[in-house]
Amino acid sequence: MRPIVARIDTAALAHNLMVARRLAGSSRVLAVVKANGYGHGLARVGHALRAADGYAVLSLDEAATLRAQGLSHPIVLLEGFFHPDEIPEIARRRLQPVIHRDDQIDALARARTEHRIDVFLKIDTGMHRLGFAAKPWRAALARLQGLPQVGSITLMSHFARADEPEIGVAGQLAVFNDAAQGLNHPVSLANSAALLRHPEAVELGPETAANWARPGIMLYGASPFPGQTGADLGLLPAMHLESRLIAVQSVRKGEGVGYGHLYTAERDMRVGVVACGYADGYPRHAVTGTPVRVEGRPTRTLGRVSMDMLHVDLSDIGNAHVGSPVTLWGDGVPVEAVAAAAGTISYELLTALAPRVRIEET
């Protein structure tokens, strides 16, 4: 067996959920498990996070996977339905679609459903991605309230810059509070960044206990904030990407290493070859110096990442040999640091884990 494996720590998932719950106060926690549980495996994550009050996904398939695990929690469809044909299954499985366009309300009005569908009504407070603008939003609410097909209505919005210390949520929150003034509906605003930094976006509205926080990335142990790791926030990494050295090379000073000879040996040195490449989901743009551990000791990557392999510096790891364990991210190697070295974010690395990587649960 090729030695690369993603070890998923289900106890870490449960721990991170506890952290989110503490921050959510009396609000409920909707565990965001889209993108295959941020790459950790949807069914596995669904189970590990079953203490959450509900789940958020994108598709009927994902919702069906959770239901097939015997999970009867509320499930929110973050992009609503894509076609009216989906409405009967939404009703049957008791899913809660986000409603963000008029034609979705038209479709609900035409639908014959066994029972009322609880919905999330999305208002665009400045992200300009999904949702009704401030004015049409009131009309959409009135229409939904008049439909026999519709049950409870949660008012929802999403922040564009909750992770930025200087900007935060103030502007969008003001737009939301203005739009929702005087209404007696549950509210759902906070992603991980808002939950961690902006309690004012969590405990609000007259129905706080019915509100929903929507943490995603923090449940997996990573930080939404630039320059800060999950560990800094009291979170535990849920994914450990591990492999082994499959070759050790002696390279002379001045010789090139890997494709394009992107790295040139600064001295005579030993270089390790790890069974992990971009086809495993390791970022090809990770530069020389990206953190990695070999035999539990910190070192760096060298040169260009290949499809199936990458190089590491063994200068200070005298006991490294073929078969030595390597941590690509996880324990002692923050996924945020690897992402930053590749010009991206932890979200992309976790969700891009390739199907060919074996997953083990710990």
Ligand X SMILES: *Cc1c(COP(=O)(O)O)cnc(C)c1O
Catalytic residue among 122, 253, 259, 347: 259
- Minimum distance between the CB of residue 226 and ligand X, rounded to whole angstroms? 13
Residue among 148, 74, 155 nearest 121 (CA): 155
Residue 215 is a binding residue for ligand X (CB under 6 A):
yes
Residue 28 is a binding residue for ligand X (CB under 6 A):
no
What phi and psi, each to the nearest 5 degrees, are found at residue 77?
-100, 105
- Can 135 be counted among the known catalytic residues? no
Burial class of residue 315 in the structure, from the number of CB atoms within 10 Å of its CB (0-12 exposed, 13-18 middle, 19+ buried): middle
H-helix or E-strand spanning residue 46? helix 42-48
Residue 24 is a binding residue for ligand X (CB under 6 A):
no
**Would you say 223 or 306 has its CB closer to ligand X?**
223
Residue 303 in contact with residue 255, Cβ under 8 Å? no
Measured CA to CA in angstroms, residue 212 lies from 98, 120, 195, 263 at distances of 13, 10, 11, 49
Residue 61 in contact with residue 68, Cβ under 8 Å? no
**Would you say 194 or 276 has its CB closer to ligand X?**
194
Residue among 291, 283, 348, 282 nearest 4 (CA): 282
Residue 216 is a binding residue for ligand X (CB under 6 A):
yes
Residue 357 is a binding residue for ligand X (CB under 6 A):
no
- Can 122 be counted among the known catalytic residues? no
Distance, C-alpha 131 to centroid of its chain = 21
**Per-residue binding letters, 59-98, with ligand X (x by CB under 6 A):** -------------------x--------------------
Residue selected from 197, 214, 240, 300 as contacting ligand X according to rule CB under 6 A: 214
Within 191-210, which residues bind ligand X (CB under 6 A)?
Answer: 191-193
How many residues line the site for ligand X (CB under 6 A)? Answer: 12
- Minimum distance between the CB of residue 24 and ligand X, rounded to whole angstroms? 12
Residue 194 in contact with residue 202, Cβ under 8 Å? yes
Residue 131 is a binding residue for ligand X (CB under 6 A):
no
The three-class DSSP label of residue 127 is coil
Within 155-194, which residues bind ligand X (CB under 6 A)?
Answer: 158, 191-193
- Minimum distance between the CB of residue 193 and ligand X, rounded to whole angstroms? 6
For the annotated catalytic residues, the residue numbers are: 34, 259
Where on the chain is the footprint of ligand X (CB under 6 A)? 32, 34, 78, 158, 191-193, 214-217, 224
